[in-house]
Amino acid sequence: MLKKIPTPHQDIVAFSAVGTLTKEDYTENIVPLIQDARKKGEKIKFLFQFGTEFENFSPAAAWEDFKLGVHYLETFSRIAVVTDTPWLKNLSTFFGHAIPCTVKGFKNNELEDAMAWLNSGEIGFNFKINEQEQYVQVEIKAPLTSDNFYLLSHAVDRWLELGNNLKGLVIHTQKFPGWEDFGSFVSHIEFIKDHHKKLDKVALVADSEFLDFATQLGSHFVDAEVKHFPYDELSKAQQWITNP
């Protein structure tokens, strides 16, 4: 079964696993919360604790856990996995690379630290695929990393593989923070090379200091129309992306 853990903020969802987890534990407790957030266009910070009372997953629950990560990739902004069990730590690290958010592990005696981490600071890199209007919006508030582009590429490629279209890309950043290292810059160029032909438009929504970078970026998106908007005109950029 799942026991809900009190959280300091409404956008944090936390559960502790007790005994053997079943498929119903997921479908009756976690999935409705995620679907509700998705309908509202909100993100969830998720904490999952596997303490001393946890025993195992039923086969159906294990499958449901896998589907949760696959079908709701963009609903999470951060995930904290709290456990002292080695195989669960390794599993969370492995699947963390398939989810477009930061996944961090904590020991059971670090539950308060995990909650504080979920409740702290701004997310440095975040993105969301607008399924109805068929564009991806990226928010940048910290230096870009190779993992950022890996996760973005994974989500975009999966969306396209399902037969969907992608009209464009909206990049929203008040002041472009650069790249964490040279490897991150290379990952950026590889993402552009692999995806620019799949986009019709790119909207760069940023302050004036971003213009030099925007010009350089636009030269790489050779098959996409690139347009700059002031940082506070995000809605205009979104309308431009979606209009024929």
Neighbouring C-alpha atoms within 13 Å toward the C-beta of 106? 20
Q: What is the pLDDT of residue 108?
A: 92
Residue spans per domain, the chain: 2-118, 125-242
Q: How many CB atoms lie within 10 A of CB 170?
A: 24
Alpha carbon of residue 143 to chain centroid: 16
Q: Report the CATH number of the 125-242 domain.
A: 3.40.50
Residue 240's pLDDT is 95
Q: Do domains 2-118 and 125-242 have the same CATH topology?
A: yes
- Check residue 135 and give its pLDDT: 92
Q: Identify the bridge partners of residue 125 per DSSP, sorted by sequence position.
A: 140
Averages of pLDDT over runs of 10 residues in the chain (244 residues) are 86 89 84 81 84 78 57 75 81 55 85 86 75 90 74 79 87 81 66 75 77 53 76 94 88
Task: Indicate the residue type of 61.
Answer: A
CATH number of 2-118: 3.40.50.10600
What SS3 string covers the chain? CEEECCCCCCCEEEEEEEEEECHHHHHHHHHHHHHHHHHHCCCEEEEEEEEEEEEEECHHHHHHHHHHHHHCHHHEEEEEEEECCHHHHHHHHHHHCCCCCEEEEECHHHHHHHHHHHCCCCCCEEEEEECCCCEEEEEECCCECHHHHHHHHHHHHHHHHCCCCCCEEEEEECCCCCECCHHHHHHHHHHHHHHHHHCCEEEEEECHHHHHHHHHHHHHCCCCEEEEECCCCHHHHHHHHHCC
